[in-house]
């Protein structure tokens, strides 16, 4: 499943979840857990391969007193 499809399906399940009084059926819960697992793997891959912006480098300037 492509990353965009994972996110789209997660969004659909969240909408269904809210319409069902914030409860998943067992099948929906299993599918959502699988999607979360796929998403975590994708994010970990991106972090491991330096594909994530981590912010600007902060220079630490020590001042003498």
CA dihedral 2, 44, 11, 55 (to 10 degrees): -110
Q: 24-41, pLDDT tens digit by residue?
A: 999 999 999 999 999 999
Q: How remote is the C-alpha of 18 from its chain's centroid?
A: 19
**What pLDDT shows up at residue 39?**
97
Q: Residue 65 above 70 pLDDT?
A: no
Quick one: which of 57, 55, 46, 43 has its CA closest to 10? 43
Average pLDDT of 39-52?
Answer: 95
**What pLDDT shows up at residue 26?**
97
Q: And the tokens for 23?
A: 């409860």
**What pLDDT shows up at residue 54?**
81
**What pLDDT shows up at residue 58?**
79
Q: And the tokens for 50?
A: 């330096």
Cα–Cα distance for residue pair 31/34, rounded to 1 Å: 5
């Amino acid at each position: 499943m492509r990353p965009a499809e994972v996110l789209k399906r997660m969004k659909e399940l969240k909408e269904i979840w809210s319409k069902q009084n914030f409860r998943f059926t067992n099948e929906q819960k299993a599918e959502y857990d699988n999607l979360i697992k796929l998403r975590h793997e994708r994010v970990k891959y991106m972090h491991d391969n330096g594909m994530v912006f981590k912010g600007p480098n902060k220079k630490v300037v020590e001042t003498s007193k």
